A and B are shown apart, each in its own frame.
Chain A
Amino acid sequence: MSEKKVITIALAGNPNSGKTTIFNNITGTRQKVGNWPGVTVEKKEGLIQKFGYDLKIVDLPGTYSLTPYSIEEIVARDFVLEESPDVIIDIIDASNLERSLYLATQLREIDSKVLFALNMADIAISHETKIDSEKLSNLLDVPVVFTVGNKNEGMDDLLKEAIKLAESSPDKRENRNVKYSRDIENAISKIQDLIEEKAKDKINYKSRWTAIKLLEDDKIVKERFVEKAGAAGEEILEETGVLRKALLNSFDEDPEIVMTDDRYGFIAGIIKEVQTTTIKKRVDVSRNIDLVLTNRFIGFPIFIFFIWAMFQLTFTLGAYPMDWIESGVSLISSYAGSIVPESLFKDLLINGIIGGVGSVIVFLPNILILFFCIALFEDTGYMARAAFIMDKIMHLIGLHGKSFIPMLMGFGCNVPAIMATRTLESEKDRILTILITPFMSCSAKLPVYIVLAGTFFAAKAGNVIFSLYLLGILLSIISGRLFRSTLLKGIDAPFVMELPPYRVPMLRSLMIHMWDRSKMFLRRMGGVILVGSVIVWALSAFPRNVEYSADYSSEIDRANESFNIKIAAADEKDKELLKNERIAAIAEIEKAMNAEKTEKSYMGRIGKGISPVFEPLGIDWRGSVSLLTGFFAKEIVVSTLGVLYSTEGPDDKDALKNALRSSGMTPLSALSMMVFVLLYLPCFATIAMIRKETASFKWTAFSIIYSTTIAWIAAFCVFQGGKLLGFQ
């Protein structure tokens, strides 16, 4: 085959119209899909070969118009306008045709070759809306293809049309443009003439389009225009300014507003011709669901119940598979123990690798359940409702409901959550949301809670964990309020959000989501958690030769001897009893020896060094180092605890729990430690994302210091306050 040029196909369209679904179908990838506006915030590319062509497919964030309103919309706008893709496929929600045509008519005004995909054709049909695609195609002179994204229907037709369009000669098609009001049209032609006359070869687009954008006072186009056309550009802008003023006087309204009205007028005409709706009172399932879920009285209780149920499920349902994995891990551990000869390597393998990674890997089921629940929120459309009912509360801290979406996502992982803030319009809102999102406890912290709450609160563990999450939400709201009135003063951002209909989540996509999450989790186990565990092990295993405060080996000998004498003297039936006692006594001494060894290891020294800071929180030196290691990944806190406390050997599956209980840790100090983990500095990956998204070292540092300080204060209050109240 000959060297062919790659055809670039951009997928543009309104938010939530199914762009990513179609992108995934075409490219076979698994980019994130969800039923709320603003899932995709970055452009994503995929290369495929189809019908003998090399195609580059680009998925863009959704946008309602080519005049961007938030950062992710700028990405879409820039790609469509500045990188001139060969074909733009406008993915249109067919059940929402009228509004979708607004962007469509804007796309028709530019030079690029445009193709309409009438997606969600299934929904349009179920609404008994008929769209005459041929007429639509004729009226706007664009190819139109029906698709059903989630059923993978119409993809080949779509690509065929796109290729045909890409290969067609550009001049063949005559654009059917929006006709604006007469005065506006006059002004457009005047500017167009000026451009043709003075800056003809200096513009990238058709002169009519440039004229329209200048008249609309589009900031970005104006800037680019002056850059390119220089003095002539300035002159034309000045002229445009005069025209705008005249129009403002005659319409008593900005020209761009009049033009928006005109576009919708034009669209109304098209809708009349192409769309027929059988007017019939139909049962709107989605609205009926909403009557309950956003109900005035029970909307909030239901919302809180969902969150509570999510954590309860995570904890209780997750316990069963967790048990199986735990048994598996201890099986592997004892098997390895039996075949590997006594050596440093054996210590590394069993205590470092199997002990460290094994103590974390058991949480895979819990984490999957949690992500499953969040995915349910996202795919059903409940996420947008959560934003809707939380808006008033978020308003108290000067944010709006949309900020709540990243926060809820933060329960899964803070990294994508922080990226999701791009849908927020104002920069201050974004920074504010980024600063408070880390208080939303992520899934990596869950293992810590499960271990500590499970050990010290038994049956009440689920509720304790739920309260921790509530505390996180509460503190994020208080912090938000604080920042809003001090560091990030600003006017409250308005709240405009589309509420998509509820959809039955696709089981397949949920499964894929789980599968991807598992892979990601296992990759973490093989990566950062493994490395972290080995480092933790090394720091606690070295130096090899510690000077013990007592001569443990002779103590063991002595114990052995004294028991032997006793056993020899005892009757038959006491012998067994005494033998068991002997084993216990020796284990006791060995435990003391191991404990001292860890204490004198490098890890112990570090721990002792920093423990004064944590002493007022009721956290001992082992807890302190564990917290320190959590910087790399929060799960390592657990594996460190595993290495440091498990003096009884990891093949006992309740070893850690027993060790924690007998180490002098109390329910109160466990609670204090959990509170600290909930709030203190975010993990490495999150910090990197904060840095990237705020583009500011200052805010990143602030976030780290602030969260850690709050964590210390909160844990202090819990521990000291609890003690005063007489808790243990």
Chain B
Amino acid sequence: MLLSELKEGETGVIVRVGGNGALRRRILEMGIVKGTKIYVDKYAPLKDPLELIVKNYHISLRVEEAAQIMVEKLQQQD
């Protein structure tokens, strides 16, 4: 499923980062790479962008960018 389909408080494991160009590269360089756990902390008041926790830090992406990232939803939360 897509990262943008995860709800607040859900965790996923990144399967593939789509998109192209400089942005995709930057997202990867910031540690959003295959196999990484990503937690959807919250959506902004206007539903866009969203705040994620990855590798222990907080990053914000827009929904349309999150829709380029494929994740596998993790069932249980820790």
Contacts and interface: CB of A to CB of B under 8 A. Distances in A.
Interface in A212-264: 256-257, 260-261, 264
B29 A102 contact: yes
18 contacts: A65-B26, A67-B29, A98-B31, A98-B55, A256-B25, A257-B28, A261-B33, A264-B31, A290-B51, A296-B42, A299-B44, A389-B44, A494-B62, A495-B65, A496-B26, A498-B30, A499-B59, A499-B60
A99 B49 contact: no
A519 interface: no
A460 B14 CA distance: 54
Interface of A: 64-65, 67, 69, 95-96, 98-99, 102, 256-257, 260-261, 264, 287, 290, 294-297, 299-300, 388-389, 391-393, 395, 400-401, 425, 494-501
A299 B45 contact: yes
A17 to B, nearest CB: 11
B29 A391 contact: no
Chain B interface category by residue count: 20 to 34
Nearest to B31: A99
B59 A392 contact: no
B46 A389 contact: yes
Contacts of B51: 290, 294, 388, 499
B56 interface: yes
B62 A300 contact: no
Contacts of B27: 496
Contact of B28 (A96, A260, A501): A260
B65 A99 contact: no
B57 A96 contact: yes
Contacts of B36: 264
B71 to A, nearest CB: 16
Given A102-B31, A260-B33, A392-B47, 19 more contacts: A102-B30, A257-B28, A260-B29, A261-B33, A300-B45, A389-B46, A391-B48, A392-B46, A425-B22, A494-B62, A494-B64, A495-B62, A496-B26, A496-B27, A497-B59, A498-B30, A498-B59, A498-B60, A501-B58
Interface in B6-56: 22-31, 33-34, 36, 41-49, 51, 55-56
A511 B2 CA distance: 47
A690 B30 CA distance: 32
Contacts of B25: 67, 256-257, 260
Contacts of B61: 494-496
Contacts of A287: 41
Contact of B56 (A96, A290, A295): A96
Top-7 shortest CB links A-B: A392-B46, A499-B58, A299-B45, A65-B29, A260-B28, A99-B31, A98-B55
Given A96-B56, A99-B55, A294-B44, A401 B30 contact: no
